[in-house]
Amino acid sequence: MVIRLIERFCLGFLLLLAAYPFLWMVLSSFKTNREIYNPAKLLPQSLDPFAYRLLFSGEFIDFYEVLLRSILLAGGQAILASFITAAVGFALAKGRFRGKMILTGLSLLVILYPKQAMNLSLFEWMVSMEMIGSSYGLLISGVASGLGVLFFTQVFRKIPDELMDLARVEGQSLVRSFICFLPLIKPALVTYCILHFFLCWQDHLLPLLVLGSDQLTLPLALAKLGDSSYRIPEAVGLAAGSLATIPLLVLFGLFFRHIRTALSDWVVS
């Protein structure tokens, strides 16, 4: 009983530490600059949502357009990346061809190679394809993921080989077998789709290089709201940051069971 109480106390303390920055951000979105610059003051004097009114007024940024663009880009890239990396993972796990180990090693190298270092190559590729200033170039640039390939390779390896042999006996092609096996890995698909959505949602450098000044994503919009001239109240940027976390919290809450199932199965295996 004592040990359980200690465990709950430690868990609650760690949860409070993790939640405190988000709590401070939400409360500070109702503060003036003078209150924000006072670190000892957690609660605002009043709950006046002036920062939210300024944010939605469009005086500084068109928040509705920025939010919609970020959702479409992150969602579209996450869906495409999930199915493409799942197909590659299926081929590596169940396919019979030479060079499987080489492709697996290359997937691992992609993970180890810093993403920031690849942005220059992606930028040059998009310049040659005349995709600069287009959201489609940013959408396509992130559909290949070494982490996704290794993740789905491990997931498909858990499917019995007897099912694959049965599919071959029935005369199904590798593509048809992949489509038939997709319902069996639904938790893994949902999990990776959400994780990729999170990664694309907070990406900053590549959208900065590719998109124009009139095509801001949320990270770029938040950086723009951090005006060094103090023309924009600090609470406006904090209000935008608070609203930017809502889609992530909603997705995590809706699909938590799928995420827990997929990650626990992957770790155990």
Average pLDDT over residues 217-235: 80
Do 1 and 99 belong to one domain?
A: no
State residue 159's pLDDT score.
80
Residue 55 located in a structural domain: no
Q: Kindly report, residue by residue over 37-63, the tens digit of the pLDDT.
A: 887 778 888 888 888 888 888 778 888
Q: How far apart are the first and last CA of the chain?
A: 32
Do 31 and 99 belong to one domain?
A: no
Q: In a 10 Å sphere around its CB, with 0-12 CB exposed, 13-18 middle and 19+ buried, how is residue 182 labelled?
A: middle
Give the C-alpha separation, 225 to 233, whole Å. 8
Of 70, 200, 57, 87, which Cα lies nearest the Cα of 141? 200
Give the C-alpha separation, 124 to 142, whole Å. 15
State residue 247's pLDDT score.
87
Residue with the bigger pLDDT between 173 and 23: it is 23
Do 22 and 107 belong to one domain?
A: no
Do 141 and 209 belong to one domain?
A: yes
State residue 65's pLDDT score.
87
Residue 54 located in a structural domain: no
Do 240 and 262 belong to one domain?
A: yes
Q: Kindly report, residue by residue over 184-204, the tens digit of the pLDDT.
A: 888 888 888 888 898 888 888
Do 124 and 28 belong to one domain?
A: no
Residue ranges making up the domain that contains 153? 61-268
Residue 53 located in a structural domain: no
Domain count, the chain: 2
Q: Kindly report, residue by residue over 85-124, the tens digit of the pLDDT.
A: 988 888 888 777 777 777 777 777 777 777 777 777 777 7
To the nearest 10°, report the CA torsion of 249, 253, 259, 264.
Answer: 110
State residue 229's pLDDT score.
67
Average pLDDT over residues 140-164: 82
How many C-beta neighbours within 10 Å does residue 202 have?
Answer: 14
Q: Kindly report, residue by residue over 133-143, the tens digit of the pLDDT.
A: 777 777 787 78
Residue 226 located in a structural domain: yes
Residue 120 located in a structural domain: yes
Q: Kindly report, residue by residue over 62-93, the tens digit of the pLDDT.
A: 888 888 888 988 888 899 988 889 888 888 88
Residue 33 located in a structural domain: yes
Tell me the percentage of the chain whose pLDDT exceeds 90: 0
Do 249 and 130 belong to one domain?
A: yes
Do 159 and 85 belong to one domain?
A: yes
Give the C-alpha separation, 53 to 47, whole Å. 13
Do 24 and 111 belong to one domain?
A: no
Q: Is the pLDDT of residue 268 over 50?
A: no
What CATH number does the domain containing 209 carry? Answer: 1.10.3720.10
Do 118 and 186 belong to one domain?
A: yes
Do 25 and 90 belong to one domain?
A: no
State residue 28's pLDDT score.
87
Work out the angle between the directed axes of helices 100-112 and 146-157 (0-180°, nearest 10): 130
Residue 42 contacts residue 252 (beta carbons within 8 Å): no
State residue 135's pLDDT score.
75
Residue with the bigger pLDDT between 14 and 127: it is 14
Residue 56 located in a structural domain: no
Give start and end residues of each alpha helix (H) in 30-173. 33-36, 50-57, 63-94, 100-112, 115-128, 135-141, 146-157, 161-169
Radius of gyration of the chain (CA): 23
Torsion region of 96: left, alpha or beta (phi above 0 gives left; psi -120 to 50 gives alpha): beta
Do 43 and 135 belong to one domain?
A: no
- On average, the pLDDT of the chain sits at 82
Q: Is the pLDDT of residue 127 over 50?
A: yes
